[in-house]
Amino acid sequence: MSSDEYPTDEPAVVTCGLPYANGDLHIGHLRGYTAADAYNRALGKLGQQTAYVCGSDMHGTPIAVGAEQDGVDPEDFAMAYHEQYEETFPKFNVDFDNYGHTHDATNTELTQSIVATLEEEGYVYEKEIKVAWDPEEDQPLPDRYVRGTCPYCGETARGDECDDGCGRHLEPGEIEDPESTITGNRAEYRDREHRFFAVSELSDYLTEFLDGLEGTSNARNQPREWIENGLQDWCITRDMDWGIDYPGAEDELVLYVWVDAPIEYISSTKQYTERVGADAYDWEQVWKPQATTEDGEPDAAASASENGEIIHVIGRDIIQHHTIFWPAMLEVAGYTAPRAVCATGFVTINGKGLSTSRNRAIWAHEYLDEGFHPDLLRYYLTTMGGFQQDLDFSWERFAERVNGELVGTVGNFFYRSLLFAARNFEGTPAVDVSDDVAARIDEAVDEFSTAVNEYDLRGASEAGVRLARFGNEYIQGHEPWKLEDGGDEQAQVIRDCVQVAKAVAVLMEPFMPEKAERAFAQLGADGDVHAVTLDAAREAPGAFPEPDELFEQVEDERVEELEAKLAEKVADAEDDADATDVDDAEDADAAETESDDSTEDDEGDVSDIEPLTEDRISFDDFQAMDLRVGRVEAAEPIEGADKLAKLDVDLGAETRTVVAGIKQLHDLEELPGTKVVVVANMEKNELFGVESNGMVLAAGEDADLLTTHGDSEPGTKVR
RNA sequence: AGCGGGAUGGGAUAGCCAGGAGAUUCCGGCGGGCUCAUAACCCGCAGAUCGGUAGUUCAAAUCUACCUCCCGCUACCA
């Protein structure tokens, strides 16, 4: 990589996070692919030699499990999605120069050779670890496929984390009463030899790497914590059949999917070169350090300015993999480090994350089925807010931006200018562009270039929209309709407008390729709008007939209809509380969050409702609890505690001091007078030096206090 | 708990890294203009003490510290 401004002399490669081949694509996924596509096209506009590559991620446990559930071969399972993706991308004008998959020969060979190098360089060692195992199925159970009891708090917990209870991270073997979430069989632990990549030895290198990394700030900052806290070596093997065989242990182990997945970036670039020839695009120039020291070793320091530019666009949930593990592997294996990592935010609907398993999403095919042009969604996804910000989708705002910016500003300027030009001049008037307008176009071009160099897609798109706005002001200000038809003055104004229109088409191409293509055709412009550079913004278009409208309004009734449809879907998603943990695992991809707005839902997080327990208690057991109505007399926060509050509760016979974890969840000043339900015979406990004599009942994370609805007096027994 | 990101006129967003005339753009509201154009387009007005507090500075939305609230990440899930 270099830190020269784009365009540089060396070729660039733009990648996006690999789609994981176990589910359909939705608009969340599309954000990354369209953003990377737009960025790649934008680099091309600057004259940068560049390629956009990607591929399907075919390996890993979720695919193996999914295939098993469907009763098909993992390869067939993944391949079906792979083919679906390949068909979907062109429909959104996502134009990969090469799209492969991680299971093909190129990736398999390259992965094995890179792992061999890691071994040769002494960065791989063996270590015995405990692995959860289903003895009946004779199947290893990666951590999410184990449930059991948390040894710290007694809650039901996932194998790797006590998700419902105390939130602690659990080491393999720690969880009690483990069982398989797939079969329900009791799980046992077996000692297995695994391979580890000594990432911890590369802390200094990675710190330096991060200092020079371009892209979004979150990608630079987030991994620092890991390094500062001390990197752990990385287990790179799994007890599975499905995956790339570990060289030398083919029968036992496959490589962890996160090893071979990013290598697909290289493999896919290589495949591109194999197809077009190294003269057209040389993958080694990008990925292999070009300069060497005297003993033939790659010289990373000296070669910095001669290597290609590697730009990764990813979701912000996989930053660690791209800024720790991946550059560590590249460094040891002797490949070029990425120049930039751009981590996008998530797409949300009404502020909440998308969920595959609960069908809380707008699927790629659904969008197209509604009959909207793909470029409209591209425009929304790539230009709505900052790159690393989460992006909320609503049809209302979609329509707002389409109608306001695309129809009103860009489309309208195009139509009125070209119509005028076609009617009175049969196309571009034969005069030169005025100096003022030429300067304004140059300004827009500069604005675009600057934004691309700052990885600012929104800024780059604004260059075009703002230029179109200028066009509207210009034509309005000069009122060509009041000038003599076909006269010199009118010719000048229209000539200027036509040039602005062409410049807008060039600047908008990365975001709306198909619309730009149509605009170019309407302008009778020479050349391929996808291939031209920014210079084309200044070159005169040709003769042309009357144009068509570029964009159509989205009608209000349509928006209402779509919003209603979406609302219904979201409501269904809320109702569907059946999402098991396996489903959640399938959800966890680059584009999704699993959040719930607890202030809005009185029920809190629907997805996390624990199954009702089967262990029945006797009536006597129940009677053992002395539940009483109490009235809060006073409430004050406990100094030093995050959540604890000290309550004085009137229980009729006496007033007790009770400590409750509700400090931040209730307005303490408003609590006095509130009736609550108290476990009066709870054992005493001292918290932060305050003795708690009883327990106040509350529901859920929100600590929704239980109360009475009648006028029961304090001290009344609850039965 | 630690870390990352965020909190900007009624709604949505930009600016913050490289501090400087009380702040961008879109939607909405109000008034005007124009009629080439897709109820579009152009002009003007109203509206935010830029989450809170305290600092640094001649000057802070922008830097520093602390705080509050949202979202996310925390490695043998992908």
Catalogue all structural domains in chain A, each as residue range(s) with its CATH number: 12-121+198-345 (3.40.50.620), 124-197 (2.170.220.10), 396-538 (1.10.730.10), 619-705 (2.40.50.140)
Q: Which of the two residues, A416 and A606, has the higher pLDDT score?
A: A416
Instruction: Kindly give, in sequence order, each residue whose CB lies less than 8 Å from that of residue A295, ignoring residues fewer than 6 positions away.
Output: none
Residues of chain A (69-128) having a beta carbon less than 7 angstroms from strand B:
none
Least confident of A269-283, A285-299, A326-340, A605-619: A605-619
- Cβ within 8 Å of residue A452, ≥6 positions away: A6, A39, A42, A43, A45, A46, A460
CA A525 to C1' B18 (Å) is 40
Nucleotides of chain B touched by protein CB (<7 A)? 1-6, 11-15, 17-18, 25-28, 33-38, 40-43, 68-78
pLDDT at A463 over 60: yes
Quote the tokens at residue A376: 């409209």
CA of A373 to C1' of B24 (A): 28
pLDDT of residue A481: 95
- List the A617 CA – B27 C1' distance (angstroms): 58
Q: Is any atom of strand B within 7 angstroms of residue A501's beta carbon?
A: no
Q: Could you tell me the distance in Å between the CA of residue A552 and the C1' of nucleotide B19?
A: 44
Q: CA-CA-CA-CA torsion for A269, A273, A275, A278, nearest 10 degrees? A: 170
pLDDT tens string A62-105 = 888 889 888 999 999 999 999 999 999 999 999 999 999 999 99
> Is the predicted pLDDT of residue A580 greater than 60, yes or no?
no
pLDDT above 80: residue A612: no
Left if phi > 0, otherwise alpha if psi is -120 to 50, otherwise beta: which for A486?
Answer: left
Q: Counting Cβ atoms within 10 Å, is residue A532 exposed (0-12), middle (13-18) or buried (19+)?
A: buried
String of DSSP letters for A333-350: HT-PPPSEEEEE--EEET
Q: Are strands A698-699 and A695-696 parallel, antiparallel or unpaired?
A: unpaired
Q: Which of residues 390-419 of A touch strand B (CB under 7 A)?
A: 390-392, 397, 400-401, 403-405, 407-409, 411-412, 415-416, 419
pLDDT at A637: 67
Assembly ipTM: 0.92
Question: Which amino acid, A491?
Answer: A
pLDDT band of residue A559 (cuts 50, 70, 90) is very high
Task: Classify residue A18 by its DSSP letter.
Answer: P
Confidence bin at A608 (pLDDT 50/70/90): very low
